[in-house]
């Protein structure tokens, strides 16, 4: 985005009257937004006078500009109409009055009817979903067992961009400089520092640029797969790996469990991962925590077909296996 904004700032921007932006709808508003994003990228400061138009703290305003900036980087708008649409979509979780106020501040046109501004929060997820993630491609190391995976999310995504600690940003920059100097010992030490903070740098993964990403541990919601030492534990892990390896995942997160994992529904393209695991008999429906009727039906299908763990006449439930292990009950072994 830097080059795009710099070009707009240097070539298109012309001085405006003091006392607010005072821009008219169209190109002037587009140029003003580009200029302010360029300045925000360098200073971290939102435009003067914005607080007079919106009832929000400076910290909240900075969060908005981080989201808009991240969205601009992904797909730079070419005109005022596209810029208005970008703002609406980047701020879809914020109140309509604030979105409209920001558009008015820049004199940007109200988006077409097909682009909806939410009254409060745009409800595009199932009830209970707190947020969504779009992961980078996962590898074999991502799968811990049949119901737990580790994913990484690009910090340029709107939700992530405003939450990266300054110390992590600084370490990522110093690591890049160390690699340029071929000081790989220093670079590895900085990568470890970044990892300790819950992040990771992927080298040259996007157009030759590094990707600073945030780590999430994901617990598949509503299912419980056999543990690694249980019958079908290895098969369950392999089934999950075969579904997601090399793929980018879409995850709807509902909550965080006591182990710090994000509990969510996982999609790989058009495939609902929990559905496949249940239908193939590589997971139990965890009905104690999730009463979705379709999960029960998918499990019944696998039981009727005697596939996966249901090939056994009396498979042990994972939660009972874990309870026995905690209580010191001898665990049965299987050939």
Distance CA 32, CA 22 (A): 10
Which pLDDT value is given to residue 24?
45
Residue 162 — φ and ψ, nearest 5°? -90, 0
Residue 233 — φ and ψ, nearest 5°? -65, -45
326 has catalytic annotation: no
pLDDT at 14 over 50: no
Distance CA 132, CA 142 (A): 18
CATH 2.40.50.90: which residues of the chain? 217-326
| 207-239: pLDDT as tens digits | 557 899 999 999 999 999 999 899 999 999 999
Q: Identify which of 298, 288, 296 has the alpha carbon closest to the alpha carbon of residue 319.
A: 288
Q: Are 171 and 162 in contact (CB under 8 A)?
A: no
Q: Identify which of 150, 118, 115, 120 has the alpha carbon closest to the alpha carbon of residue 136.
A: 150
| 259-271: pLDDT as tens digits | 999 999 999 988 9
Q: Which residue has the higher pLDDT, 89 or 254?
A: 254
Q: Domain spanning 217-326 has what CATH number?
A: 2.40.50.90
% of residues, the chain, pLDDT over 70: 81
Q: Which residue has the higher pLDDT, 196 or 333?
A: 196
Which pLDDT value is given to residue 79?
84
18 has catalytic annotation: no
Of 112-116, 144-148, 180-184, which range is least confident?
112-116
Residues 6 or more apart in contact with residue 274 via CB below 8 angstroms: 220, 221, 222, 223, 265, 266, 283, 295
Q: Identify which of 12, 32, 8 has the alpha carbon closest to the alpha carbon of residue 21.
A: 32
Which pLDDT value is given to residue 178?
94
pLDDT at 189 over 60: yes
Residue 151 — φ and ψ, nearest 5°? -130, 160
Burial of residue 142 (CB within 10 Å: 0-12, 13-18, 19+) is buried
pTM: 0.63
Active-site hit among 89, 179, 261, 280: 261
Place of tokens 């182990």: 259
pLDDT band at 15 (very low <50, low <70, confident <90, very high): very low
pLDDT at 245 over 80: yes
CA distances from 242 to 55, 231, 273, 276, 278 (A): 49, 19, 11, 11, 15
Active-site hit among 35, 179, 227, 280: 227
Q: Which two tokens stand for residue 309?
A: 């763990």
pLDDT at 118 over 80: no
Residue 62 — φ and ψ, nearest 5°? -65, -35
Residue 8 DSSP label: I
pLDDT band at 296 (very low <50, low <70, confident <90, very high): very high
Distance CA 142, CA 237 (A): 11
pLDDT at 293 over 90: yes
Distance CA 312, CA 293 (A): 24
Which pLDDT value is given to residue 255?
94
Which pLDDT value is given to residue 142?
92
258 has catalytic annotation: no
> What's the mean pLDDT when you consider all of the chain?
83
Active-site hit among 179, 214, 219, 221: 219
Place of tokens 């609902």: 272
The β-bridge partners of 131 are: 253
Distance CA 94, CA 101 (A): 12
Distance CA 152, CA 205 (A): 13
């Amino acid at each position: 985005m830097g080059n795009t904004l710099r070009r707009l700032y240097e070539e298109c921007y012309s001085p405006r009257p003091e006392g607010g932006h005072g821009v008219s709808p169209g190109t002037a508003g587009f140029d003003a937004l580009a200029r302010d994003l360029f300045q925000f990228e360098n200073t971290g400061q939102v435009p003067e006078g914005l607080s007079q138009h919106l009832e929000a703290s400076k910290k909240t305003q900075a969060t908005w500009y981080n989201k808009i900036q991240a969205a601009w980087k992904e797909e730079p708008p070419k005109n005022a109409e596209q810029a208005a649409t970008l703002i609406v979509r980047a701020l879809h979780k914020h109140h309509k009055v604030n979105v409209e106020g920001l558009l008015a501040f820049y004199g940007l046109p109200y988006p077409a009817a097909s682009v909806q501004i939410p009254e409060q929060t745009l409800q595009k997820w199932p009830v209970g979903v707190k947020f969504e993630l779009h992961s980078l491609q996962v590898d074999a190391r991502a799968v811990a067992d049949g119901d737990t995976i580790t994913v990484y999310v690009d910090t340029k995504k709107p939700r992530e961009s405003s939450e990266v600690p300054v110390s992590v940003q600084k370490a990522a920059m110093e690591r890049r400089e160390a690699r340029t100097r071929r000081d790989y010992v220093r670079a590895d030490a900085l990568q470890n520092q970044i990892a300790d903070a819950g992040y990771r740098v992927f080298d040259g993964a996007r157009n030759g640029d590094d990707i600073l990403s945030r780590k999430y541990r994901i617990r598949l919601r509503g299912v419980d797969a056999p543990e690694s030492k249980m019958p079908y534990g290895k098969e369950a892990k392999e089934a999950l790996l075969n579904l997601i390896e090399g793929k980018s995942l879409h995850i709807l997160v509902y909550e965080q469990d006591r182990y710090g994992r994000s509990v969510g529904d996982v999609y790989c393209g058009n495939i609902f991962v929990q559905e496949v695991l249940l239908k193939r008999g590589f997971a139990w429906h965890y009905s104690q925590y999730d009463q979705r009727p379709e999960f029960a039906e998918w499990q019944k299908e696998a039981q009727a077909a005697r596939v996966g763990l249901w090939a056994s006449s009396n498979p042990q439930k994972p939660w009972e296996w874990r309870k026995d292990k905690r209580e010191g009950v001898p665990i049965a072994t299987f050939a």
